[in-house]
Every structure is written in C-alpha cells, then in structure tokens.
Structure 1
Amino acid sequence: MTQAATRPTPGSDSTDILAVARHQVLERGEGLSQEQVLEVLQLPDERLEELLALAHEVRMAHCGPEVEVEGIISLKTGGCPEDCHFCSQSGLFSSPVRSAWLDVPSLVEAAKQTAKTGATEFCIVAAVRGPDERLLAQVAAGIEAIRDAVDIQIACSLGMLTAEQVDRLAAMGVHRYNHNLETARSHFPNVVTTHTWEERWETLSMVREAGMEVCCGGILGMGETVEQRAEFAANLAELDPDEVPLNFLNPRPGTPFGDLEVLPASEALKSVAAFRLALPRTMLRFAGGREITLGDLGAKQGILGGINAVIVGNYLTTLGRPAESDLELLEDLQMPIKALNASL
C-alpha cells in the first residue's frame, strides 16, 4: 500500500479502512486492493450502514444515478455436461431441471416482454460447455428476429468460446457477452472440475479483443472464505469487465451445494459494498439469489449500497422478484432507468 493511497482526508483516522477508501476510491477513483477489500469485509456489522453509505457515494460519483435493467431467457435449459456444483442444469446431478429448447418465436416474445419493463438489455443464455453449430444457428436466427421486432440490446451467455465463435457472435451484433469466473481462482477447483478457471479467462479475453462488452461476475456463498471473497474482487478488478453480476447462492436440491446455508444478509451487503469499492466505475448488477439472501429490505439497501444494475423477473431456474417490484423500488428511490442509447 503506497503512502499516496493511504493519505487520509483532513480530520480522519488514517488507519481506518473507510477513511482510506473515502480518499482513495471516492476522491481519487482508485479501487481498493485485495488486502483492503478484506479489511472492508471484516468490518463489524455495526459499521454496515456507514460502509453502504460510502459505497453509494462512490457509485453516484463514478457511475451516476441511472440503473440498467436487464431481462434474461434460457434458449437451452438443462442437460449441461459440466459439473458446476451450484447448478441444477448439470446433467451429472439428480436435479429437477429437464433439457429443453426454446423456439425463435418464444425468444422474440420474451424480448418484447422484457422491453415493456423498460429494460434495455436482453440476454440469451444456454446451459452448455460451449455452443455447437445448432445452437449458434438458433442464436443467429433469434437475434435477427428480435431485431426486426423490438429495439433492445442483445447479450449472450453461451459458455466457453473458440476464437471463430467469438468473431461470429460479434458479427451478429451481440452487444455484451456474459461468462462468469464464478469465484476466486483459488476456490474454483472446489466449485467446478470439468474445466478450469483459466479456460474461462481465455474466453473473456477473446470477447474483449473482438470489441464486445465483457460481463463477468460470480456467486457468493459457495463455501469460499472471506479471504477468497477478497481475492475474487481482485481477480475481477484485474479483468476490468464492463459489468459484474453479483449472485448469491440459492442452494438447489440435488446439487453438491444443495445443503449449503444461505449467506447471511450482513455478509452479502458487505460484499456488495466491498465490490463497489474495488470496482468504482463498473456496472454492478444485482442478480440471482438476492431474494432469499436479502429480501425486500435488502434489495433497497443494496441499491443504496453500490448496485447500479438489476436483472428483473425470473432467472434461469429460480424465481426472482416481480419486475414491477424492482421498478417501483427504483421509482421510490428516484433512480432513473438507463436509456437504451445511454453510454456506460
């Protein structure tokens, strides 16, 4: 930690991590290091409100008040050959998700309904290791049909890609590609064994080189230590994605993580704020699991604690908050929905 990074604001305690963060992140725009994030995550619960308030100040200063709203749809559900221990779509677990495909008219209708909520981003997701020719053809047809029917930006999440597949998706006009690192590099082998963290990183690097926006986050509460949570924030800061979706584990029956306890709300909120302080200019999105982890009150605290994007409606295999509830909350908080043509 350099002397410049720790220079306190006048009258503040130079040893207090929130005083350091106020100067370093809020005033200078420099994200916290891994060691500093760990200090934030280890703050006592009685300092949570102070932490959330600072994270909100950082978000407003470096990202502004707008909130990006996104909807997602599963093009191919279930039957995935990978063993991601949190996922009920793996074909290796006794999970209650059957393999199914969505046709193009259903994709278009889902995009229309998403746009009606005010969302500007629609993400097409598939439960696969990576796309085959059939899937890419379906995605291409879906994107073309959606573009003819509704004005919305289209993102994709189709697993690991080859260089040729990256170029094809970019040529289709895919605006943003999601591929989560899921957790800290050191914890990843405890979460997935059928592919590596490095393989995911390679896909993300090619996506950026092709000119698509990079969306990369993960799931908190998968048995990682607090130290590994800080490591994950540092991993993401190194990647510097355009968007980071933060999920919280919603334990799924039949998966290896089906019996894990839900992350305590205070830990989840500290993590939201800590990730904002590590990534001051990044779009930080509330994603899956926030309903059972935080509830309605926690959703408000998160949006006032660093979050500036949300997924509305349901997720891939779990129920979310009704879109109307999130939109009403944003209206109550006087946070405008980001316009379709707004820049990041």
Structure 2
Amino acid sequence: MTDILDIAREQVLERGEGLDEAQILEVLHLPDERVDDALALAHEVRMRWCGPDVEVEGIVSLKTGGCPEDCHFCSQSGRFETPVRAARLDIPSLVEAARQTAQTGATEFCIVAAVRGPDDRLMAQVRDGIEAIRAAVDINIACSLGILTEAQADELQEMGVHRYNHNLEAARSHFPEVVTTHTWEERRETIELVRERGMEVCCGCIIGMGETLEQRAELAAQLADVQPDEVPMNFLDPRPGTPFADLPAVEAQDALRAIAAFRLAMPRTILRFAGGRELTLGDLGARQGVLGGINAVIVGNYLTTLGRDPQDDLDLLAELSMPVKELSKTL
C-alpha cells in the first residue's frame, strides 16, 4: 500500500492538487512519529504554492456579547451565563485599534460583531468606522458580521470591504451538535454571496468541538470545496458557562496533524493561526505550525480570549526568515 505522504508529495506538492476527504483522514490517522514528516511536507507545499510571506492580521469587536445565537463554543451568546457582557466600541476606539494593528506590520484589520446578522444600526456603524479608519490608517479592512442578505453584501462591497469572514465552524454532519439556531447551509449561502460580489472569502473552523476524526476530515474537504482565500484555524478554548466548557483542549500532536492535513487539502489557501493556539500548542507549537503549513497569524488578543504578545509572533517570523506580507494596494 502506498504511503499517504508519498501520495501527497506527488499529488499536492508536485501537481498542486489537494487531498480528498479519504486521503485527509489518512493524514489525521498518522502515528505521532510521522507528524514531523507530515509537517515538513506541508511546509514544502506552503512554500511552493503560497511562497514565504506571512500575512499578519488584527481583529477587534465592534459589538461584543448579547448574541441571540446558541453557538455552543461561544461566550458571547446571550443564551449562556458567561462572564462576557454586552458592549459596543465607539468609532475613535475602533480607529485607534486599527492604528495599533497597523503598527505591528499587519496588513489586515477585521471588524467583528457578535450578531446573527447586521441590522441597519450596525451597518451604519460599520460604514462610519470604515470611513474613519480609511482617513487615518493605511490597512485592508475585513468584516465578520454574521449571516448576510443580498442587500447587505452589496453594501459591504460598496464600502470597499476587502475580505469577509464567515466560518463553517464544523463539518456539516456535526454542525447540529454545535449550533441549533441557524444552519450550516445558511453559513454556506453567505459565503457564496460574498464571493459573488468579488470580496475575498475568509472561511474557517474550530477544531476540538467533539467531532470525530472522520468529521474533521469532512470539514477540511468541505472547506476546500468552498475554495476560500483564507482559512482561520481555531482550536477550542473551552469558555466558562458555555455548553462546551468541559470539553478537553485539543492535544498538541492532534492539532499539528490537523494543520498538516488542512494544508495538504488546500495547498494554495492562506492558512491562519487563530484562537486557541496558545492553549493547545504553546510557543514550541507555534514554531512547528509556522514550519508546518501555516502562513498567516492573528496578532494580539482574540475576541474574548488573550493571545500572544504581537512582538513574540513578529520575532518568531524574523527568526525563521519569513517576511511579513506587505500591504496590497487594492483598496
């Protein structure tokens, strides 16, 4: 029987064709002593099909908490008793967050809101915020505002939003165990609205929400089918008060296997380190991930959890001789 990494070397590295679902599952089943081999191949794939540049992004929450949805991993849901309280950010604070993000060398700044989808008030705030940021900071602006209507997608395109984030979060077969107040299909429909309007598609996931390895492979294949420009890889950081509060953190070797498998499934995609990597991987794992297929990072804090010091990430990239991607002049 041909070894899956030999198959991947010829199929993914040489031809640029991602692994299919069954092949992804084989990578996820690799024993611990093969993980370094998988990461090394994933790094070769990343360097060949994406190049050495690493994209740096910062995120900020315009509206935190009080969300009506019941995403079981999220402490911003108004349905759970969590420490997070509803709050809104004013425009000057938003601009200052964008300025601080740009000072780290980041090229992307994402405005996030904890909502099912934006109402008129939120859309007006986003418009005002984008105008204020553009007047003060030279940075690409992304948004993550939940499920969109066609009219809202049109508005965001008209505002000049560079990239829109809407994660699949989990495999289609596992999604009802994660969220009950909206469907996997609704998420996919928003992704298509974004793509149709020419905005870049950012569509990621959370690893470690009780899924099987088969469902993890299913998720990677479904993300590959979306053909996103960027895939943020989050690892569950169990939040107090949520239904997933007692789930165990993802084991480091399992996280690294997932990073390699997702890179081999999507050779040309921006694969971004996102939430939970500090808990799951620590400093050593961050190095292994960047040398194992990751080519983008979120710097600073996440929405409700603390991240690494941005300088730590920038120092690591410099040590590994990986240049930070320069700002694209496509606004």
Shared fold (TM-score, shorter chain, > 0.5) = yes
Asked if residue 293 in structure 1 is aligned to residue 280 in structure 2, the reply is: yes
Aligned partner of 2:227: which letter?
Answer: D
Q: Report deviation, 1:239.
A: 0.5
Asked if residue 94 in structure 1 is aligned to residue 77 in structure 2, the reply is: no
Flag the 1:269–1:342 CA change in 2: closer, same or farther, 3 A: farther
Q: Which residue of 2 aligns with 1:244?
A: 231
Question: Residue 205 of structure 2: which of 210, 218, 239 is its match?
Answer: 218
Q: Which residue of 2 aligns with 1:28?
A: 15
Aligned partner of 2:99: which letter?
Answer: K
Q: Which residue of 2 aligns with 1:130?
A: 117
Asked if residue 70 in structure 1 is aligned to residue 57 in structure 2, the reply is: yes
Question: Residue 296 of structure 2: which of 298, 303, 309 is its match?
Answer: 309
CA distance, structure 2, for counterparts of residue 230 and residue 205 of structure 1? 22
SS of residue matched to 2:142: strand
Question: What do the CA deviations read for 1:19-70 (whole angstroms, capped 9, x no partner)?
Answer: 0000000000000000000000000000111110000000000000000000
Aligned partner of 1:267: which letter?
Answer: D
Flag the 1:231–1:342 CA change in 2: closer, same or farther, 3 A: farther
Aligned partner of 2:264: which letter?
Answer: L
Q: TM-score, normalised by structure 2?
A: 0.99
Q: Which residue of 2 aligns with 1:82?
A: 69
Flag the 1:337–1:162 CA change in 2: closer, same or farther, 3 A: same
Question: Residue 179 of structure 2: which of 179, 192, 211 is its match?
Answer: 192
Q: Which residue of 2 aligns with 1:323?
A: 310
SS of residue matched to 2:154: helix
CA distance, structure 2, for counterparts of residue 34 and residue 90 of structure 1? 32
SS of residue matched to 1:285: strand
Q: Which residue of 2 aligns with 1:44?
A: 31
SS of residue matched to 2:58: strand
Q: TM-score, normalised by structure 1?
A: 0.95
Question: Residue 139 of structure 2: which of 142, 152, 156 is its match?
Answer: 152
Q: Report deviation, 1:341.
A: 2.1
Aligned partner of 1:119: which letter?
Answer: A
Q: Which residue of 1 aligns with 2:155?
A: 168
Q: CA RMSD in A?
A: 0.8
CA distance, structure 1, for counterparts of residue 105 and residue 273 of structure 2? 16
CA distance, structure 1, for counterparts of residue 188 and residue 137 of structure 2? 32
Count of aligned pairs between the two proteins: 330
SS of residue matched to 1:93: coil
CA distance, structure 1, for counterparts of residue 261 and residue 38 of structure 2? 8
Instruction: Flag as ranges the 4+ runs of structure 1 deviating above 6 A.
Output: none
CA distance, structure 1, for counterparts of residue 275 and residue 129 of structure 2? 24
Q: Which residue of 2 aligns with 1:5?
A: none
Question: What do the CA deviations read for 1:125-169 (whole angstroms, capped 9, x no partner)?
Answer: 000000000000000000000000010000000000000000000
CA distance, structure 2, for counterparts of residue 51 and residue 273 of structure 1? 6
Q: How does 1:275-286 map to 2 (within 5 A)?
A: 275-286=262-273
Aligned partner of 1:252: which letter?
Answer: R
Aligned partner of 2:303: which letter?
Answer: L
**Aligned residues with identical type, % of pairs:** 75
Q: Which residue of 1 aligns with 2:94?
A: 107
Q: Report deviation, 1:342.
A: 7.4
